[in-house]
Amino acid sequence: MISDPRQYTKAYPKTNIIIQTALDIKDNKISSKDLDDIIAIKLRDEQDALINVALNLAPDNNTASLIWKSLNRAVNNVELSRANIFAIPLILVAGSKTKSRLKPQIDTEKLNKFFNDNNLFLPNSDCFISGKLIDPNTISSIKYSQLYYWVRNLQQSKLWLPISIEGSSIETLNEGVFLRFLIGVGIDNNDSSGVDAKAIQDNLMGLMSLIGDELKTDGVTLFPIPFAPVPMSSAFAVGVEYRTEIAISVAISNIVKKMREERLTPRAIISTQGEAIKIIVKPLEDSELLETILWNLSRFISFEETLQQITNLLHDIGISYEFNID
């Protein structure tokens, strides 16, 4: 078995109140609500830099995870928020033999009609979802303090986000796995966010069909995979993990298919490189066929759960694996 390759600094800033409070929670000195309250104050005061330092310089994964979960609770406190700003992570697996481009937006009117017709927005609620396909860099550039302010002050869903954001087109050639987001807003009405997350989960196949029809492009084979909505504060991190898992699945499936077509026996070797889990797929027989893939680990996700995802994937594809401990 391999071990977590991430190197957490022990020389973290002792003056960072967020890290210190998280450590006190680990020692059972205080409750997680104390950390939520401290982060909420820092968000109100627009001290995003202090929060980012705490996330990046936490001394271990457990502390980083505590801070990450507390940050998202502080941003999206249901007792204090007025608006539910949510994101639907959308993975687009696209292939083409010539250079092509997918448009940066699907029809917003059709998208909202789908949500209303299928009761994804609760009756008499004030909700809106944009058809703009927002790229990950744009999502990650929005400060947590901005989201904190918006969820407490947005008044009308159709005004959407109070900043200028445009969709981003996708250039395709050969095969690629791309990440975009659909952003929606639900205004609090009678203690309801207006959005039925379970109904969205149950209607993902219909949403997949709508997106596929809207983005249909000559010469492009497209497979859209929408996921259940998440708070916008966590959308980037969640979306990147979804994209990584699917991209690795596609890469492994493709190389395994080639090996089996040549009557070779694929096998995976799992190790680490830098702060990533490294997967090498090669045949037991002598062959030049080889695929090397890296799953980069963020500071706050679980190493054990990620490793389990990888081994489950290999099991589903039907290939054996071994661990290589350097």
Read off the pLDDT of residues 111-145 as tens digits, 9 standing for 90 and up: 999 999 999 988 878 899 999 999 999 999 999 99
- Give ∠ CA 37-88-72 in degrees, rounded to 5: 10
Return all residues near 78 (Cβ < 8 A) that are at least 6 apart: 193
Q: Strands 83-102 and 220-226: what pairing? A: antiparallel
| pLDDT tens string 252-305 | 999 999 999 999 999 999 999 999 999 999 999 999 999 999 999 999 899 999
| pLDDT tens string 56-102 | 999 999 999 999 999 999 999 878 788 889 999 999 999 999 999 99
Instruction: Specify the pTM.
Output: 0.93
- Identify the pLDDT of residue 10: 81
Q: What is the Cα–Cα distance from 103 to 11, expressed in whole angstroms?
A: 47
Q: For residue 279, give the nearest of 290, 267, 268, 266 by alpha carbon.
A: 268
Q: Which two tokens stand for residue 223?
A: 């497979």
Considering only CA atoms, give the Rg of the chain.
22
pLDDT of 174 > 80? The answer is: yes
- Identify the pLDDT of residue 161: 84
pLDDT of 188 > 80? The answer is: no
Q: What CATH class has 262-323?
A: alpha beta
CB 154 within 8 A of CB 185: yes
Q: For residue 317, give the nearest of 243, 244, 242, 260 by alpha carbon.
A: 260
User: Cα torsion for 144, 149, 150, 156, to the nearest 10°?
Assistant: 170
Backbone torsion region of residue 18, taken as left when φ is above 0, otherwise alpha when ψ lies between -120 and 50, otherwise beta:
alpha
Classify burial at 196, counting beta carbons within 10 Å of its beta carbon; exposed 0-12, middle 13-18, buried 19 or more: buried
Q: How far apart are the first and last CA of the chain?
A: 11
Q: What is the Cα–Cα distance from 167 to 164, expressed in whole angstroms?
A: 10
Classify burial at 297, counting beta carbons within 10 Å of its beta carbon; exposed 0-12, middle 13-18, buried 19 or more: buried
* CA of residue 27 relative to chain centroid, distance: 30
- Identify the pLDDT of residue 143: 96
Q: Which two tokens stand for residue 322?
A: 């071994």
CB 50 within 8 A of CB 42: yes
Q: Which residue has better confidence, 198 or 17?
A: 17
CB 48 within 8 A of CB 145: yes
pLDDT of 326 > 70? The answer is: no
Mean pLDDT of the chain: 93
Q: For residue 224, give the nearest of 67, 90, 111, 48 by alpha carbon.
A: 90
- Give ∠ CA 214-216-218 in degrees, rounded to 5: 150
pLDDT of 191 > 60? The answer is: no
- Identify the pLDDT of residue 17: 96
pLDDT of 193 > 80? The answer is: no
Sign of CA dihedral 270, 271, 274, 280: negative
